[in-house]
Amino acid sequence: MEKIYDLIIIGGGPGGLSAGIYAGRSRLDTLLIEKERAGGQIVTTEDVENYPGAMKDATGPALVDRMVEQAEGFGVKQVIDTVISVNLDNKIKIIKGQKGEYKCKSIIISSGAKPRPMGISGEKEFAGKGISYCATCDAPFFEGFDVYVIGGGDSAVEEAIYISKFARKVTIVHRRDKLRAAKSIQEKAFKNEKIDFMWDTIVEEIKGEGIVEEMILKNKKTGENVVVRANEEDGTFGIFVFIGYIPQTDLFKDVINMDDRGYIITDENMHTNIDGVFAVGDCRVKSLRQVVTACADGAIAATQAEKYIEDNFEE
């Protein structure tokens, strides 16, 4: 007899793992498909201070390992595969991966979103070693240091204001001659004595020995290069990049309702526009993308998936 799972979770970040824990605990026959290592963006975070109840000095990888262990303990099966297509037209959903085909009664999409990178030399090498894409996560680690925020939209300016609570000085580096953020947000930034601005400027390269020590900037109008070096006493400085996110939702375009940025639209119970299909975590429309909110999404979605199966499939 062909295998049909109760639930398949696409993506093994905190939202997907949380969904797996709740689904497995409810005795749903659950499969989690992850294209690489489980954990999503959190595995790149060395310190996790703001997750409730996390042990002191907890790391992202350690937190994910515990989640994986919990999911496995509740019987959740896991497979490493890259999903290449989905068929959501019928009650039994079909997921095609590079390694095989999977069928299920319900699906939770936890495909995540990736910060849009600058695409410059040194960026990959120093991610998590001076370069961050999350102020809520990492701003406290730069207390008393100089910080450079890259970007000029709402997120960049709001996060710069937040970072200024910790940093000695924050410099917003923007490629244009004026901010794109809402006027009310701009006004707060301009009034903040700890925030400076570098206009018409882009980042060319980031250097250092193990941590960020130097950044090369270029003025787009004059062509002049400016070299930013770490204060000798500090030894490093922070670079926070806020030039947008890229939701990992291409598989579901023209199938599931999304906003104009490609984020999946759900209701408060994680339902998409397709019965039996739910979305959680960073891939869906939401106001805060953190581990704690992803886990909450996963718990809700798994509970809703259980209810959907009970209501739509007879034993």
Q: What average pLDDT does this structure show over 116-126?
A: 96
Please give the structure tokens belonging to residue 98.
């590079």
- For residues 98 and 158, membership in a common domain is answered with no
Pair 242, 133: CB distance under 8 Å: yes
**Domain end residue (candidates: 194, 220, 241):** 241
- For residues 236 and 152, membership in a common domain is answered with yes
Cα-based distances in Å from 92 to 2, 27, 99, 131: 12, 19, 20, 44
Q: What is the pLDDT, as a whole number, of residue 42?
A: 57
Integer Cα distance of 283 and 251 in angstroms = 12
DSSP state of 7: E
**Segment of 49-58, 102-111, 112-121 carrying the highest mean pLDDT:** 102-111
Q: What is the pLDDT, as a whole number, of residue 115?
A: 85
Please give the structure tokens belonging to residue 102.
């999977």
pLDDT reading at 83 higher than 60: yes
- For residues 219 and 144, membership in a common domain is answered with yes
Report the CATH number at residue 193: 3.50.50.60
- For residues 142 and 234, membership in a common domain is answered with yes
Of residues 42 and 148, which shows the higher confidence score? 148
Cα-based distances in Å from 315 to 6, 107, 251: 12, 19, 31
Q: What is the pLDDT, as a whole number, of residue 74?
A: 96
| Three-class DSSP category at 175 | coil
Q: What percent of the chain has pLDDT over 70?
A: 94
- For residues 64 and 149, membership in a common domain is answered with no
- For residues 97 and 146, membership in a common domain is answered with no
Integer Cα distance of 164 and 143 in angstroms = 9
122's enclosing H/E stretch is none
- Provide the number of structural domains found in the chain: 2
- For residues 222 and 260, membership in a common domain is answered with no
Q: What is the pLDDT, as a whole number, of residue 136?
A: 80
- For residues 237 and 256, membership in a common domain is answered with no
196: phi then psi, degrees, rounded to nearest 5: -115, 175
Give the domain extent around 170: 123-241
234-249 CB burial, b ≥16 within 10 A, e <16: eebbbbbbbbebebbb
Pair 13, 39: CB distance under 8 Å: yes
How many other CB atoms are found less than 10 A from the CB of residue 221?
Answer: 10
- For residues 17 and 81, membership in a common domain is answered with yes
DSSP-derived secondary structure for 214-254 = EEEEEETTT--EEEEE--TTT---EEEE-S-EEES-GGGTT
- For residues 35 and 67, membership in a common domain is answered with yes
Over residues 4-31, the pLDDT tens digits come to 999 999 999 999 999 999 999 999 999 9
Of residues 148 and 63, which shows the higher confidence score? 148
pLDDT range class, residue 63, cuts 50, 70, 90: confident
What does the angle CA 84 – CA 258 – CA 95 come to, to the nearest 5 degrees? 25
Integer Cα distance of 281 and 264 in angstroms = 10
Q: Which residues are catalytic?
A: 134, 137-138
What does the angle CA 206 – CA 210 – CA 215 come to, to the nearest 5 degrees? 15
Q: What average pLDDT does this structure show over 160-165?
A: 95
- For residues 191 and 284, membership in a common domain is answered with no
pLDDT reading at 248 higher than 70: yes
Q: What average pLDDT does this structure show over 157-180?
A: 96
pLDDT reading at 275 higher than 60: yes
pLDDT range class, residue 84, cuts 50, 70, 90: very high
- For residues 128 and 237, membership in a common domain is answered with yes
